[in-house]
Structure 1
Amino acid sequence: MPLALSVATQPDPRLRPLLSRDYLRFRQPEEEGAAWLAPPSTAVTVIINMGEAFGGLPHAFVAGPSDACDVVSMHGEIDCVELKLTPLGAYRLFGVPVSELVNEVVALTELADLRPERLDDGLLRLADAGPAPAGEVAWVWRRLHAAHGNVPIAALAAEVGWSRRHLVDRFRAQAGLAPKTLARVLRFEELLRRLPTGRFAEVAADCGYYDQAHMNRDFREFAGTTPGDWLARVPSVQYPWVPAP
């Protein structure tokens, strides 16, 4: 497999609450027939190509939160800047219901012409003009994120003084996924981080699964494979996705 190169760059501190990690410049030489398995994610991904667009996708695009795995085929060389936004960060920057972005890829014109050195200015401009998420939605997002999804939704609704239905409606609009679905994806994301570090049963318990069988069911649903097969195909940390079978 050709060597990939990724270089992280720190954003302006004012943008940190909107981002889930630093900017990443990613380069991958062309490889015939390469495909990647992308697991569900609560993050909103922004890609700005520095060269030719890859995979038949727009030159700059936003990929919304997802609740299912997907196979991404690689066509041509990749040279891009990747941003990972929190769902509420995406709501602030783009000013549209994040629910409209779930499992979707949408062309992005606002940032298409920006070079890496001008990203801060472009994002700050969008943030200044964008809507602020409801304080109750932000609170629930922080609670779920800190607990890797392991908080009962009814308890969160009670904490913010909303009915469960009202919380679901407002949260889905501003964070993309319904709170229960987002909680499951957060738990699965934590599982993927911890899986290489311990025994399956121990990791399952640490992540809040009832037992290993419960973990295996989520793995089948969210990744279309088993934990053992996933680990067998985990590449170097340089790669953003796991190679598809």
Structure 2
Amino acid sequence: MPYDVEFGAPGVHRGLPGTSLTFVLPLDEPLRVSWDGKADSLHSAWSSLSGLHPAPAAVHHDGSQRGVQLALTIAGARAILGLPAAALAGTLTDVDEAVVPRPLRELPGRLHDAATWPQRISVVDRTLASLVAHSDGTGPQVEVGHALARLTRGVRVTEVAEEVGYSRRRLSTLVRDECGVTPKEFQRVARFELARGLLGRVPLAEVAARCGYSDQAHLSREWSALAGCSPTTWLREEFPFVQDGGPGGDAGWDHD
């Protein structure tokens, strides 16, 4: 999705964890990203690739941001990047550093050559469609895909393993090899992602109940652990930008 946001002053956003990989193509300046609280991890480039991460990232800006952001599913990572999501888990990198197809490495330059938003979106769409069309068709094992879908819905790991016919240990190995996180970590982030989509739309106690947290206090603890701030802080500082269609929206990196 395209983003074009004026914040009014330089600042830092929180990039929140999710079940998809984040691919950002900035327009006005290189995107500067680091792990929250770790200045020595700062990465700056004209593209940004982030794998699954159970911790917030810090996205630095000079008062405004424009570009295109994509949320790549686990299967989409293989089709677009030619890599399993596990290859990028916990990393902050870009298309020049990562071993990705040539059309993807050329995409930042082609995007900058486009003069209008329709042209930019068309460039991105054509590139991604071509990559998918020419991919080797390799995707996650059917059992892993089914397991991830069930884990996202909150089904217990033991039950999911039984459904797909694997031991819990075997399932954990397969999910970790595909995603770079364990089934429990994936499920934890999926629940957080669901809560993020409801926050600001229904009361916190209802968010907790709908998403499977034991109570509102449990929700708040998990939010602080994964987002680096409380739900009320995120609502106060970030929710208006999410509503306006700022970078990240309800998928991938949300910003605080």
Q: TM-score range by the shorter chain?
A: 0.7 to 0.9
Q: Distance in 1 between matches of 2:69 and 2:10?
A: 22
TM (normalized to structure 1)? 0.79
Say whether the 8 Å CA contact 1:53–1:78 is kept in structure 2.
no
**Matching residue of 2:66:** 79
Classify 1:50/1:38 alpha carbon distance in 2 versus 1 (closer, same or farther; 3 Å).
closer
Q: How far apart are residue 29 of structure 1 and its match?
A: 4.9
Classify 1:242/1:129 alpha carbon distance in 2 versus 1 (closer, same or farther; 3 Å).
closer
Q: Residues 45-194 of structure 1 correspond to what in structure 2 (within 5 A)?
A: 45-55=22-32, 57-75=44-62, 78-109=65-96, 110=102, 111-114=104-107, 115=111, 116-127=121-132, 128-130=134-136, 131-145=138-152, 147=153, 150-194=154-198
* Letter of the structure 1 residue corresponding to residue 49 of structure 2: V
Q: Distance in 2 between matches of 1:155 and 1:225?
A: 32
Q: Distance in 2 between matches of 1:153 and 1:163?
A: 10
Higher relative contact order (CA 8 A, sep 6+): 2
Say whether the 8 Å CA contact 2:23–2:70 is kept in structure 1.
yes
Identity over aligned residues, as a percent?
30
Q: Distance in 2 between matches of 1:46 and 1:141?
A: 21
* Letter of the structure 2 residue corresponding to residue 125 of structure 1: S
Q: 1:39 aligns with which of 13, 16, 30?
A: 16
Q: How far apart are residue 152 of structure 1 and its match?
A: 0.3
The 3-state SS of whatever aligns with 2:76 is: helix
Q: Please, which moves more after superposition, 30-39 or 185-194?
A: 30-39
**Matching residue of 2:251:** none
TM (normalized to structure 2)? 0.76
Classify 1:223/1:93 alpha carbon distance in 2 versus 1 (closer, same or farther; 3 Å).
same
- Extract unaligned runs of 5+ from structure 2: 33-42, 97-101, 112-120, 248-253
Q: Distance in 1 between matches of 2:26 and 2:200?
A: 31
- Aligned residues, how many? 217
Say whether the 8 Å CA contact 1:38–1:72 is kept in structure 2.
yes
Q: Please, which moves more after superposition, 123-132 or 179-188?
A: 123-132
CA offsets 1:46-76 (integer angstroms, 9 cap, x no match): 1223444232622123111111112221147
Q: How far apart are residue 122 of structure 1 and its match?
A: 2.5
Q: Distance in 1 between matches of 2:181 and 2:31?
A: 27
Classify 1:175/1:91 alpha carbon distance in 2 versus 1 (closer, same or farther; 3 Å).
farther
- Extract unaligned runs of 5+ from structure 1: 1-23
Q: Distance in 2 between matches of 1:161 and 1:191?
A: 30
Classify 1:76/1:205 alpha carbon distance in 2 versus 1 (closer, same or farther; 3 Å).
closer
User: What is the Cα-based RMSD across aligned positions, in Å?
Assistant: 2.2
